Amino acid sequence: MTVVAVLVQEGAIGFEVMIPGQVFGMANMAAAEGDSDRGGAVGSPRYDIRVCAVGRSVTTLPVWGATELRTPFGPEAVAAADIVVVPGAEKFLEEPDSEVLDALRAAAARGARIATVCVGAFTVAAAGLLDGKRATTHWQWTDELARRYPAIDVDPTVLFVDNGQILTSAGMASGLDMCLHLVRSGLGAELASRTARRLVLPLWRDGGQAQYIEHPDPVDSTHSLAPTIEWMERNAAEPLGLEAIAARASMSVRSLTRHFRTHVGTTPLALLVRMRVDRARRLLESTELSVDRVARESGFGSEASLRYHFTRSVGVAPQKYRSSYLTAS
DNA sequence: CCAGATACCCGCCACT
DNA sequence: TTAGTGGCGGGTATCT
């Protein structure tokens, strides 16, 4: 069981406080569904989510909805957590409470993962945990983060950054992507994809995507490529070229790449590679197929190609991923 | 891991 | 005039 502590500070942004509960809670439901599908008894939940405050037991959420949050847990939740999520708070430009900083440093020191949403990155930065690391935050505040903490390598162009131990996300909805990423790395791509479906989240939003995309014509642009992308998802195992994709979208190759850049924020091939890596992950998790077979079944032309992309996006080689995944579950 | 071949991506620009 | 399209060139990423 993975303990997730959501560390709430005064003036926390309500939406972001709720994100971990929604994603990890949904992962619990997806896991239970998986248990019964396999004919076995429903196992215990995978995640234990504890909304907590350090210093105060009740934190108000005075803006944007004017509600009040009761935090059932205190510092002991942070001390017990495997993952500490830090949502953004209203007064993020002020020095955080020293108890909060101490709790974060202690958690990091004993190896817990720390994940920030939005301007929560400022809190973790104040604890000195981001020095020398790559990080991101809400695009309105990336410059300020870089100015205050020159030792941090701030990347304003991505949805989230995973440093292994510390994760930072761009803000608001990208916190969903980051938490889903944590589910994927903890429990596997198959469960993560079922969780995404329950959350009605697109599967393919990934860390390396533009934070914001201009939408000159939101009505048309948000949906025009959706059928093409679904088609790519279904046919990712086939050798797809730009020509074929463009034909499917009934436009030229030039227009296709242009639309991808402006509306999706990435390129057709980059998206396809992500889809294929995801397939490969699932095959490695759930089958005994050789790495070479996995490469072909997931749409990569060769084992070398799979290894190249897999290692780049997952961080470990396919074979290593399979063995570590099996021992972890 | 290297190298040659190929595919892709995107600025530029003419065109509808 | 503005908005969108798509061919072309060639630097770069990817494949074999």
Q: Which nucleotide is nearest to A220 (CA to C1')?
A: C4
The full 3-state SS of A1-39, as one line of letters, equals CEEEEEEECCCECHHHHHHHHHHHHHHHHHHHHHHHHCC
Q: In the predicted model, is pLDDT for residue A279 greater than 80?
A: yes
Nucleotide with C1' nearest the A252 CA: C6
Question: Which pLDDT does position A176 carry in this prediction?
Answer: 92
Q: Is the CB of A304 under 7 A from strand B?
A: yes
CB of A247 within 7 Å of some strand C atom: no
Say how far A254 CA is from C7 C1', in Å.
9
Which residues lie across from A176 on neighbouring strands? none
- Asked which of A21-35, A45-59, A199-213 is least confident by mean pLDDT, the reply is A199-213
Confidence of residue A265 (pLDDT cuts 50, 70, 90): confident
* Confidence check: pLDDT of A59 > 70: no
Q: Closest Cα to residue A159, out of A212, A85, A83, A199? A: A212
Q: Is the pLDDT of residue A297 over 80?
A: yes
Distance of alpha carbon A222 from alpha carbon A135, whole angstroms = 28
pLDDT reported for residue A25 = 97
Report the nearest residue to nucleotide B1, CA vs C1': A304
Q: Is the CB of A230 under 7 A from strand B?
A: no
pLDDT digits (tens, 9 = 90+) for A86-132: 999 988 999 999 999 999 999 999 999 999 999 999 999 999 999 99
Q: Which nucleotide is nearest to A267 (CA to C1')?
A: B9
Q: What local confidence, expressed as pLDDT, does residue A217 receive? A: 36
Q: What is the average pLDDT score of chain A?
A: 86
Is pLDDT at A62 greater than 90 in this prediction? Answer: no
Is the pLDDT score of A150 beyond 50?
yes
Which tokens go with A328?
């972890």
Q: Which of A188, A203, A237 is nearest to A34 (CA)?
A: A188
Chain A residues 262 to 281 with C-beta below 7 Å from nucleic strand C: 269-270, 273
DSSP codes joined into one string, A162-189: E-SSEEEE-STTHHHHHHHHHHHHHH-H
Mean pLDDT of A156-183: 87
Quickly give A264 CA vs B11 C1' distance in Å.
19
The yes-or-no verdict on residue A327 having pLDDT over 80 is: no
Q: Which residue is nearest to nucleotide C14 (CA to C1')?
A: A305
If one compares A71 and A271, the residue with the highest pLDDT of the two is A271
Q: Quick check: A259 CB within 7 A of strand C?
A: yes
Looking at residue A109, its pLDDT comes to: 97
> Which bases on strand B have an atom closer than 7 Å to a protein beta carbon?
1, 7-12
Q: Assess whether A251 (CB) lies less than 7 A from strand C.
A: yes
Q: With cut-offs at 50, 70 and 90, classify the pLDDT of residue A329.
A: low
Taking only the tens place, the pLDDT of each residue in A204-226 is 555 555 554 443 333 344 447 88
- A50's tokens: 């504890």
Mean per-residue pLDDT, A7-15: 88
Whether the CA torsion A290, A295, A301, A305 is positive or negative: it is negative
Average pLDDT in the A170-175 region?
85
Q: Which residue is nearest to nucleotide B9 (CA to C1')?
A: A257
CA of A301 to C1' of B15 (A): 38
Confidence of residue A285 (pLDDT cuts 50, 70, 90): confident
Decide if pLDDT at A159 tops 50: yes
Q: Which of residues 243 to 302 on A have a Cβ less than 7 angstroms from any strand B atom?
A: 243, 253-254, 257, 260-261, 267-270
pLDDT of residue A219: 35
Q: How far is the CA of A51 from the C1' of B1 (A)?
A: 49
What pLDDT, on the 0 to 100 scale, is given for residue A94? 94
